Structures are given as C-alpha cells and as structure tokens.
Amino acid sequence: MVLEGLDSPTGAENLLSWGENKLSVHPKYLISDEERQSLKEVSMLAYVPVIDLQELDGSSRPQAIEKLRKACKEHGYFEVINHGVSEAIMEDMMKVADEFFQLPVEDKLHLFSTDYRKRTLLSTSFNATKEATMHWRDYLRHPCNPLEEHINSWPNNPPSYRDVAGKYATQLKELTLKLLEAISESLGLEKDYIAKALGKQNQTMQINYYPPCPNPDLTLALGAHTDPNCLTIVQHDEVSGLQIMKDGSWFDVPALHGAFFVNIADQLQVISNGEYKSLVHRAVTNSRKKRISIPTFYGPSYDAEIKPAASLVAANVHGPLYVSFTFEQFLSHFYSQKLITTTLQHFEVPQPQSN
C-alpha cells in the first residue's frame, strides 16, 4: 500500500478500506516500542457506572444526579440505559454505516479529503498530513446540527443513509441535551447552563471503520487522546476495541448491548473548572473482525466563548484553571498536530510554583 501523496488526486488510495486482505502492516503504521508494551499490559475494566435515564424523571432524580456526579468526577465515563433511542434506529444506523464502507471506492471518492474543515469528510488515520505514525482507521464525519442545514451534504449512497442517520442524529441530540441538563445540575449549576455555554451548539457524527489488522500488536486503531468537544456518546458494535486509561493503566471496556458509552471531553473539563476530567482513551485492532463505532460529538459552536463557570471558579482555591477561548481557537490547536492528549495545556492558567 502506498502512503504518499495524501493530497494528490489518488490520495484516497491510503484508505484502509480501499483494498482487502492486507498481508502485513506497512511501516508507516508501526507504533513505538513503549506503545507496543502498553498493549500487553491491559486489564478488563471491572466496573462501568451505569446511568438509567428513566431514574432522572420523578422523585428519584436527586439520587440519580448524585450517581451521575460520582461517575463524572471519579471515572470520567459511564454507560447510559433506558436512553430513549429506539433499538431499531440503533440497528439501522449500524447497518447503514457498514453498508457505506462496503461501497465500491469510486462511489465515495468525492468525499475523501485530508482537510479537517471539509463539512462532510471521508478520511483515514487522524491527521494524516501531520502524523509520523498512521492509525489503523478510516472514518466518515459530518455535522448534524441544525439538521436541515447539513443533511444535503451527507452521503446519498447507500440510498437510505440520510433518512436513517437523520433520525438517529435527532434522537441522539435529545438524549445529549437531557444528559447535559443532568450534568449541569450535578455541578450545582442551572439545568440549562452547559447548553447555553455551548452557544448555537455543534453536533457531529463520526463513523469509525477499523478493518482487521494482520499484526494487531504492532499498530493502534486510534492512539491515546481526549476528545475536543464537550460530551461524546458512542454506539459500538459487538467487537471490542475501546480502551480507557484509569490511574495510569489501560483497561478494556466491555460492551453493554443496547447502551451508549458516554465520556467527558475537553470543553466540559473547562466549564467545570477541572471538577470533571476529560477521558483519555484509545482504540485497538484485531486480526479477525472489522469493527465499527459511531461516536456523536456534542460541543460548542465555533464562535462560542468557553470558560470555567463563575460559581465553580469561586469554589476553587486556585481560581480559574483555564483562560477563556473560542471553540474555533481550540480546534485550531487540536488539528495543528498529531493526535495527543495535551491540547488543554495551551489554555491553562499558570499556577504559582510552591516552594
């Protein structure tokens, strides 16, 4: 497989889904010895907080909010059940996502780009023009909010894609806004605080496609990172591959059928003034089965000014931990480099050094 000329007319040849039956990993995908060692030192996650969305209704809400607060503060992730997204829609979305990546390459070439600013984007790795080491992943990404402004830029092949993805995105937005209300409450803020802080709001759907890898011990599907948005809600297929870092160690996340995996992202860490931490996670490959995950990233509009909530600043002995910035400024940093976990450091308020 040739891995040059990413911006050339034939750059799409770098898509892993371009060809089949790759016999070995190209050197461009080989991870460091340290990362290879970390793949051998992974345990199964023993506990995943489960939030029952129905418990947020009625008299059980205070207890459910406290459970959510503990999940966000102590773990940075949880799974949500009874979430209101129909199982049929979830199954249809996974099916049409798979159908898209099974299309002949010529049917999706027009979507390929390495420019992250392209509205509807088919690409590979993370930031292929900046990375020394590529990730074993292809992806389709497009905005969803407001739906009517973006849906005509989505793939029209498979023929059912826009209809299915539109229904899915609408239900995911409803779920996300309910969660953001509850998370606001868990921080002692007004229910609509976070939603207002995100401005006009940005909802983006991404389909990650991970083909089988001939040498899964030599490469990563997606390296360690935190998400740049506010809250990420992920639907997985039955193939495992998500790993999270907790207390300096890596853990496999077990799949819970019919549930969504939710993780805290960078903008929520800022708004909470560090009360809730963005989750470091990665994806790994396997040699037997393809894997598909569908994260929905919910965050600020590009012009929204993000800063710590005033009441949480007042409650912190160190004051504000982050300067204010626009989401556009944050993304400019995030996409200017390879995939890393330190973008937030650019926006930290310098703390006095203790003697």
pLDDT in tens, the chain (355 residues): 333 444 443 456 677 766 554 657 788 889 999 999 999 999 999 999 999 999 998 899 999 999 999 999 999 999 999 999 999 999 999 999 999 999 988 898 899 988 878 899 999 888 777 777 889 999 999 999 999 999 999 999 999 999 999 999 999 999 999 999 999 999 999 999 999 999 999 999 999 999 999 999 999 999 999 999 999 999 999 899 999 999 999 999 987 789 999 999 999 999 999 999 999 999 999 999 999 999 999 999 999 999 999 999 999 988 999 999 999 999 988 877 666 667 898 899 987 765 5
Residue 175 exposed, middle or buried by CB count within 10 Å (0-12, 13-18, 19+): buried
Cα 21 from Cα 303, distance rounded (Å): 44
The reported pLDDT for the residue numbered 12 is: 61
The reported pLDDT for the residue numbered 22 is: 61
The reported pLDDT for the residue numbered 341 is: 65
Taking alpha carbons only, the member of 154, 159, 165, 136 closest to residue 17 is: 136
pTM of the full predicted structure? 0.92
- CB contact at 8 A, 258 and 90: yes
Strand partners, 52: 81
User: What values do phi and psi take at 293, rounded to 5?
Assistant: -130, 150
The reported pLDDT for the residue numbered 280 is: 95
Taking alpha carbons only, the member of 74, 54, 48 closest to residue 261 is: 48
CATH C-level class of 28-347? mainly beta
**Domain residues of the chain, as ranges?**
28-347
The reported pLDDT for the residue numbered 8 is: 41
The reported pLDDT for the residue numbered 339 is: 62
